[in-house]
Structure 1
Amino acid sequence: MRKQETELFTPAEAAVLSRLSLKAVNNAIDKKTVTARRTRAGRLLDEPALVYLSLERQLAGDTTPEFRRRLFAEIAAEPRRRVVSVGALKVDIGESRREVMERLKQLRRAERLVTVNPEIMGGNPVFRGTRVPVHQVAELLAKGETVERLCEDYPRVSEEMIRLAPIYAAAHPLRGRPRKQPWHGWKPVATWSIPIRDLK
């Protein structure tokens, strides 16, 4: 019988799935509250770590670091249990697991709606069948633009695509500095000055 391969997640994906900040996820890894696997791709987390991180969102201020490490160890030891015990305390992890799995479904759906092709928009992620950059839509939503307005502005992009854009953008942040535009550094062809009094 073949052993099922464990799915692993980047810290950015873990932050989206657990609803913690990326800084909090990296902090949990750095303090060894959760165990990350080190690979060529970087530090990766498994499903028990995601369930624990989802719980940490609720427990961080009320528990000690030692308790949190023991809680993660219990979750990792038997990841399918609904209730884990740490000393005399029993913790129900079923709801946290359901939340993580629901967010994972949304993330996987968002990933299916997005394509990355070096020939389209310079390799930036765009919605499948369009040239609309996912990160641009997520940024517009973060600035307060409404889903309805974006549907009007981008008729080839569905409402579902727009709603899932922030999840995809957070899980797959753009890397590096923004690319320079081809005209960057060009000297203007012509310049002229207009006196302020003529602008009235």
Structure 2
Amino acid sequence: MAALAELLRPAEAAVVAAVELRDVNRAIDEHILSKDFISLDNGRRVHAAACTLIAFYFDSARRLTSEERIQAIRESEARILAVEWETWASNLLGDWTVRHDFLTIDLAPFVRRTGERLGDLIAARAMVVSDPAILDGTPVVEGTRVPVHDVAAALAAGASMERVREAYPSLGEREIRLSALYAEANPQRGRPRTPVSLPEGSVIVTDRRVSRRRAAR
């Protein structure tokens, strides 16, 4: 199983931290994260454990000043870096209190949430396959021909879990949830693929067409 030392792409880190992609880029550009959590060697990457600190920084913005949040991050960085995935479950039960002068902060909720979401990301990666023999390599749920981005698009369009399950009867709620998470962590580039036909056993959830507006001259 992957360790917390794994480096994540910004989109993946945003999913694990449950923040916007721009927030992850801010954490890098504004030096909210120290250099030990960042790699720029092959595109932007952040240490998986840094997601806890990113989540804390942006979620606590209404209650703490930037200086207080940065100080709490600096006080906890060494311990965060030392945690490995294999011992993460036991760390969820540990004391994650950070104390500085008169300020006391409990990072446990952020440790717990990001640890669970990282586990979901790892599970989603294991569930999704990309095979040139299946829909020209489109990422699909293993053992099916269901594109994960199509599942995510249905949920994003407002379809309920029940409607999506009706559209893709080969998927359970867990597969649907992980499909959406995988698609968010791995956004499609370019124009969306237009399927020639729906996957076997699926039904249309919605069929709304929006005309393209012409640019003003």
Determine if the TM-score, normalized by the shorter chain, exceeds 0.5: yes
**Which amino acid is 2:40 matched to?**
R
The match for 2:178 is 164
Alpha-carbon distance in 2 for matches of 1:151, 1:180: 21
Describe the SS at the equivalent of 1:90: strand
Q: CA deviation at 1:181?
A: 8.9
The match for 2:23 is 24
Distance 1:103 1:180, change over 3 A: closer
Matched, 1:121 2:135: yes
**Deviation by residue 1:57-76 (Cα, 9 ceiling, x = unmatched):** 32123333333332222221
Describe the SS at the equivalent of 2:99: strand
C-alpha RMSD of the superposition: 2.4
Unaligned runs of at least 5 residues, structure 1: 183-200
**Which amino acid is 1:64 matched to?**
T
Q: Greater shift after overlay, 62-71 or 117-126?
A: 62-71
Distance 1:92 1:171, change over 3 A: same
Give the TM-score taking structure 2 as reference length: 0.73
Alpha-carbon distance in 1 for matches of 2:176, 2:29: 34
Alpha-carbon distance in 2 for matches of 1:12, 1:49: 13
The match for 1:135 is 149
Q: CA deviation at 1:125?
A: 0.9
Distance 1:87 1:121, change over 3 A: farther
- Contact kept, 8 Å, 1:147 with 1:159, in 2: the verdict is yes
**Which amino acid is 1:67 matched to?**
E
**Which amino acid is 2:143 matched to?**
G
Of all paired residues, the percent bearing the same amino acid is 38
Matched, 1:90 2:140: no
The match for 1:101 is 115
| 1:39-50 equivalence runs, <5 A | 39-40=41-42, 42-50=43-51
**Deviation by residue 1:56-103 (Cα, 9 ceiling, x = unmatched):** 232123333333332222221222561122332121111210111111
- Contact kept, 8 Å, 1:117 with 1:123, in 2: the verdict is yes
Describe the SS at the equivalent of 1:39: coil
| 1:3-82 equivalence runs, <5 A | 6-35=5-34, 36-40=38-42, 42-79=43-80, 82=96
- Contact kept, 8 Å, 1:17 with 1:103, in 2: the verdict is yes
Q: CA deviation at 1:112?
A: 1.5
**Which amino acid is 1:82 matched to?**
W
Give the TM-score taking structure 1 as reference length: 0.79
Q: How many residues align?
A: 178
